[in-house]
Amino acid sequence: MHSLIVTAQPEPNAYTHAVAREVIAGIKATPDHTFELLDLATSGFDATFNTADYAVFRENATPPDDVLAEQARIDRADALILIYPVFWWTMPAVMKGWIDRVFAQGWAYFDESGKDTIRLLNRLSVQTIAIGGATERTYQHRGYSQAMKTQIDQGIFGYTGARVIGTDLILPLDTASSQTGLVRALQIGSNIASAHQQSIATEVRIEA
């Protein structure tokens, strides 16, 4: 199994990267599980949806080379793991822009007037790990947790057919909660392969 881990945190010593390291440690402890790490803060990927991308959306052009390269990364993966700090109650702009450009029509989905959307990423499992800076009560009371699930789990991955196998919100507000988050990250890395296989098996049973 192969996982693509994507981060979006410009500060190299930030907690987000510590979480990514623990996820990777869990993956490394799993036999036959490989990974690739994409740090959008340092990759140089242009996250601005531009006229060339709009032409792809309108089915008037093929994706540019930088988008094709990112699509190839995902094509190599069985699981996509997004690890990011919460900015304004969602993922950072560079990660959203990566999705805007890479999850293009004809590759992630296909829309045709008067017909149901064809979802093209059914083979992909997705795990998200958001790093927040408020209390669990704040996220629940304000509806932020559900809002993120709606826009990301359903609005992006549900639309493209990818299977969300985990949606974690880690809140490192003190030493104890920071350590708890790192333990959880290690568990996610260790369990991602089995969660992926379980999601496939569940889908097969449903289709049967």
Burial class (CB in 10 A: 0-12, 13-18, 19+), 54: exposed
What's the CA gap between 8 and 38, in Å, rounded?
Answer: 9
Given a cut of 80, is residue 77 above it in pLDDT? yes
Which domain, by its residues, includes 149? 2-207
How many domains would you assign to the chain?
A: 1
- Confidence at 204, pLDDT banded by 50, 70, 90: low
Taking only the tens place, the pLDDT of each residue in 93-109 is 999 999 999 999 999 99
CATH classification at residue 11: 3.40.50.360
Q: Taking Cα atoms as reference points, which of 130, 119, 120 lies closest to residue 188?
A: 130
Q: Rounded to the nearest 10 degrees, what angle do helices 65-75 and 93-102 cross at?
A: 90
Summarize pLDDT for 9-34 with one digit per residue, the tens: 999 999 999 999 999 999 999 999 99
Residue pair 131/19 in contact by the 8 Å Cβ criterion: yes
